[in-house]
């Protein structure tokens, strides 16, 4: 008997796999097989992403979801097949992405959730290091060992390990506690002149990643408004006052932008800058508050030590809100 169609019940939920599975699916999908094809393909990524709403207020929460796909197969007589039916396929979803050259459904690294092998922190400042709990047994930060446990709950699948101030090396080990998976060099920057800013963004793994910028910053306020021209003559006297203008403006507001400089970094930081530019969720720690920003730069020129000698990235941001509060 040939496959005619499938029915897919899609469950998206927090907590423990299967234990916290809801009674009612979020989506019920019925799809027929195209006659010239021998299988049925479904794209569920965007459906799942609707349930991954990310927010950040310097709190570094784990945003992940369990996804259960219960699939029932029907034959060309439109009867369910007699083998194990429905079949359940379970996944853990993060708000990450792969590149085109990675192919279909790429499997990203399941340990340290950053691409680069270098981190820059202000001298005397602690940091956060994102890891995937299922794939990491321990971290050795300088000479201190941190064991990683996976409770199975979605709120702990991504864990943010504190990097103590003035750390120099982070080593990430597999669940066997002996296989070294990644080594990250931490460079501590003493910046006596400029104020460092912390940029936090959602990287390609769906984890929060921090990027500190250390050098010159420039703040600009761009004003927007509309204008009209009015008649200022008083009917009773047929005169006008020179203290009243003919032109007035309304709907006045402003947009603040920042131009930031990373300071000199190694070529490996191209990966971090690339993922920052591609991120849909970016924040800056600014005057004691965590504020949303939008990368303004639309082009990234990859820098190399061969071509550019010393590498500094200049990054432009717009704050993601108007200067005058117009939230209604």
Cα–Cα dist 174/180, whole Å: 6
Beta-strand pair 314-319/180-189: unpaired
Cα–Cα dist 113/101, whole Å: 20
Q: Is the pLDDT of residue 7 over 90?
A: yes
Query: Tens of pLDDT along 238-294?
Result: 899 999 999 999 999 999 999 999 999 999 999 999 999 999 999 999 999 999 999
What are residue 113's phi and psi, to 5 degrees?
-95, 50
CB burial string 138-171: b at 16+ within 10 A, e below:
bbebeeeeeebeeeebbeebbbbbebeeebeebb
- Written as one string, the DSSP assignment of 30-79 is EEEPPTT-SS-----HHHHHTT-----SS-----EEEEEEEEEEEETTS-
- What counts of helices (H) and strands (E) characterise the chain? 3, 18
Question: Smallest Cα–Cα separation from 259: which of 301, 300, 315, 193?
Answer: 315
User: Cβ(14)–Cβ(66) under 8 Å?
Assistant: yes
Cα–Cα dist 158/56, whole Å: 14
Query: Tens of pLDDT along 47-92?
Result: 999 999 999 999 999 999 999 999 999 998 999 998 878 999 999 9
pLDDT confidence of residue 201:
98
Q: Is the pLDDT of residue 297 over 90?
A: no
> What's the mean pLDDT in 166-186?
98
The residue extents of the domains of the chain are 3-95, 118-218+255-319
Q: What percent of the chain has pLDDT over 90?
A: 89
Cα–Cα dist 261/44, whole Å: 39
How high is the mean pLDDT of the chain?
95
pLDDT confidence of residue 84:
77
């Amino acid at each position: 008997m040939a496959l005619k169609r499938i029915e897919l019940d899609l469950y998206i939920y927090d907590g423990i796999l299967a234990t916290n599975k809801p009674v009612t699916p979020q989506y019920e999908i019925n799809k027929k097989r195209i006659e010239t094809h021998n299988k049925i393909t479904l794209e569920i990524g965007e459906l799942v992403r609707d349930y991954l709403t990310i927010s950040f207020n310097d709190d570094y929460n784990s945003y992940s979801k369990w996804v259960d796909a219960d699939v029932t197969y029907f034959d060309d007589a439109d009867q369910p097949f007699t083998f194990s039916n429905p079949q359940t396929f379970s996944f853990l979803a993060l708000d990450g992405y792969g590149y085109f050259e990675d192919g279909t459904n790429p499997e990203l690294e399941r340990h340290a959730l950053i691409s680069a092998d270098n981190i820059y922190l202000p001298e005397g400042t602690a940091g956060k290091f994102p890891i995937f709990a299922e794939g990491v047994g321990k971290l050795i930060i300088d000479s201190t060992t941190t064991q990683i446990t996976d409770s199975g709950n979605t709120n702990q699948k991504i864990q943010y390990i504190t990097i103590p101030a003035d750390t120099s090396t982070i080593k990430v080990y597999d669940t066997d506690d002996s296989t070294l998976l990644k080594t990250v060099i931490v460079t501590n920057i003493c910046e006596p002149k400029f104020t460092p800013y912390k940029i936090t963004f959602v990287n390609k793994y769906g984890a929060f990643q921090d990027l500190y910028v250390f050098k010159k910053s420039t703040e600009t306020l761009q004003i927007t408004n509309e204008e009209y021209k009015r008649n200022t003559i008083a009917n009773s006297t047929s005169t006008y006052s020179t203290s009243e203008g003919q032109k007035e403006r309304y709907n006045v507001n402003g947009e603040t932008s920042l131009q930031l400089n990373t300071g000199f970094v190694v070529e490996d930081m191209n990966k971090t800058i690339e993922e920052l530019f591609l991120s849909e969720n970016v924040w800056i720690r600014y005057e004691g508050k965590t504020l949303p920003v939008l990368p303004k730069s639309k082009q990234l020129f990859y820098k190399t030590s061969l071509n550019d000698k010393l590498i500094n990235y200049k990054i432009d941001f717009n704050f993601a809100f108007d200067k005058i509060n117009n939230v209604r």
